[in-house]
Structure 1
């Protein structure tokens, strides 16, 4: 088990390294000057040069790449007399728990929290921006996947029980419709219907966040109603997938020999389904749930942007519009880490759900 976890951690580092390399290369191929984006188009050339030097854009591309990998890596190499390295071992400015290993000749190895640099536009630390917006995406993704899981498994079980009946076909048509609707179209349709046309009856808003300041600016209040429409929109596609997976997996399980043995022993249909068949049918469903949750945590851009939900996808759109390269790269690296952690969790759950799958 320990070796397995170590391998997974190594794979995580390789995935994040590959993503960082790819996104760095892509942004260096895109035309445009981040320094001019930061200062504006009418800035004089001297200010542009100063900004490029401050951002490290005056260095060759390969040096920019090495410095960036050094920044985002938890293990980095620096010279102690280099002022640009002070951020890595100054506990007053960057927190405690950073260990320095001296190599002699004024060099050292730093074990540190990855440094994602600062936003070109706001000059805030990227880690601070992500930590402020990631919880919003988490709450939205959690609400959507809970909705999709509860209703998807229930609908899939009902479709399997009433196989080839009117109710089976109705549930399958609804699930296919949910999978076919593009997210941006579903968001516009649901927002228009429930927030504009039926807004007086539902009391739901088209835009908003989970926590909002009241009109008088006197306090922050929890607005759960703002979570309903984006969570419903985000949960439609995984709802359809989970329904069909649950139905097909349960029907396959019900055809196994041990189920026929249970029937021969005189067990009733409810006991066979819920005590024997259902648990062994959940593996593909768990895979689907984990994949969808990871993609939701990555930030479903259209849903967050249409409902003005200030999550990871929302700030990525704004960062792309303003050519804020460090913020985009920080968001993408966060997404890669989330996917890797979710995949590890799924492998562990597999061993718990199915006795045939054990982690050595």
Structure 2
């Protein structure tokens, strides 16, 4: 088990390294001067040169890549010389391990650098403010999809080839075929505008909003309903289909026949024997969808004006705030890798037949 876990961790580290490299190349091979992006139209040559020196934009590409990895690595080096780009001027938060000459080895949190457009605000601070809202939205959506999807999938399997089964299949197929941004527009218009007096829901809004006096933030949980439902439609359809097919396959196994022969009721067979084994493909699908929701929530958050990392990415792209974009991509990729690693371990727990070699 330990060897299996170490191999999975090694694969995760290599995958993350590949993502970091691709993100760096996309960022630094883009046309244009990052210093000019930061200054806009108000730059002078002296200001531009100062920015290039501060952020290392005037260094060779390979050197900048080394700085980039050094910033992201939990264990990194920094200089105590003010003229050095890695000079510790408070940008790193961590613990000094050892200092040799003017170079210090530090154990720290990854440094995602600073926003171009938010007055030098740290990217980690921006992500820290918006990521919890996206996690809440994605978690709510996946819970809706998991609960309703498993329930509908079980009903569809138990009433195979009946009108109930056919109706569920039509609805789930429709759910998979409709893009999230289109569903978001339809749901916002119908339930947030046309039926607003009935539903009490708004077309847009975030978890916290200013009160009528513009002084205090108020919790608005109802603003979560529409984006969570919209974001959960497609995984709901997938979970329903997978649950149906998986349960039908499990119900044909010999041990299910044996359970019936022992006198167990249909409910007992489903709940105690069939359901757990039928959940394996569902868990895989849910994990993949949860991780992809962090990226797929971009359009949903933007349409519903939900203050999450997806909406922040769109605004950063519009203003060419590339550190925000790269930082958000790296955080989402890291979470995607960690979720898949967790799913592999859950798989081992659910199915002892999984090969650990």
**TM, length-normalised to structure 2:** 0.93
Q: In 1, Cα distance between the equivalents of 2:2 and 2:80?
A: 36
Q: In 1, Cα distance between the equivalents of 2:289 and 2:186?
A: 22
Kindly state the Cα deviation for residue 320 of structure 1 after the two structures are TM-superposed: 1.7
Query: Does 2:207 correspond to 1:210?
Result: yes
Q: In 1, Cα distance between the equivalents of 2:295 and 2:8?
A: 20
Matching residue of 2:282: 285
Matching residue of 1:87: 88
Deviations 1:141-162 (A, max 9, x none): 0110010000000000000000
Moved more, 285-294 or 24-33: 24-33
Q: In 1, Cα distance between the equivalents of 2:16 and 2:121?
A: 23
Moved more, 327-336 or 230-239: 327-336
2:92–2:109 contact (8 Å) kept in structure 1: no
Q: In 1, Cα distance between the equivalents of 2:239 and 2:220?
A: 29
Instruction: Give the alignment of 1:242-257 within 5 angstroms.
Output: 242-257=239-254
1:133–1:310 contact (8 Å) kept in structure 2: yes
SS of residue matched to 1:87: coil
Instruction: Give the alignment of 1:15-26 within 5 angstroms.
Output: 15-26=15-26
Kindly state the Cα deviation for residue 10 of structure 1 after the two structures are TM-superposed: 2.8
Count of residue pairs brought into register by the alignment: 355
Matching residue of 2:114: 118
Matching residue of 2:69: 69
1:24–1:65 contact (8 Å) kept in structure 2: yes
Deviations 1:2-30 (A, max 9, x none): 33333333333222221111111112232
**TM, length-normalised to structure 1:** 0.93
Instruction: Give the alignment of 1:158-169 within 5 angstroms.
Output: 158-169=155-166
Moved more, 104-113 or 287-296: 104-113
Deviations 1:94-133 (A, max 9, x none): 54x513223x343332221111111111111111111111
Matching residue of 1:187: 184
Query: Does 2:37 correspond to 1:37?
Result: yes
Moved more, 108-117 or 200-209: 108-117
Structure 2 alignment gaps of length 5 or more? none
Structure 1 alignment gaps of length 5 or more? none
SS of residue matched to 2:213: coil
Matching residue of 2:194: 197
Q: In 2, Cα distance between the equivalents of 1:343 and 1:124?
A: 31
1:75–1:112 contact (8 Å) kept in structure 2: yes
SS of residue matched to 2:214: coil
Sort the Cα spacing of 1:42 and 1:219 in 2 relative to 1 into closer, same or farther, 3 A: closer
Matching residue of 1:329: 326
Kindly state the Cα deviation for residue 84 of structure 1 after the two structures are TM-superposed: 4.2
Query: Does 2:346 correspond to 1:349?
Result: yes
Query: Does 2:148 correspond to 1:147?
Result: no
Kindly state the Cα deviation for residue 266 of structure 1 after the two structures are TM-superposed: 2.7
Q: In 2, Cα distance between the equivalents of 1:299 and 1:311?
A: 12
Query: Does 2:302 correspond to 1:301?
Result: no
Query: Does 2:317 correspond to 1:316?
Result: no
Moved more, 350-359 or 117-126: 350-359
Kindly state the Cα deviation for residue 312 of structure 1 after the two structures are TM-superposed: 1.2
Q: In 2, Cα distance between the equivalents of 1:138 and 1:176?
A: 26
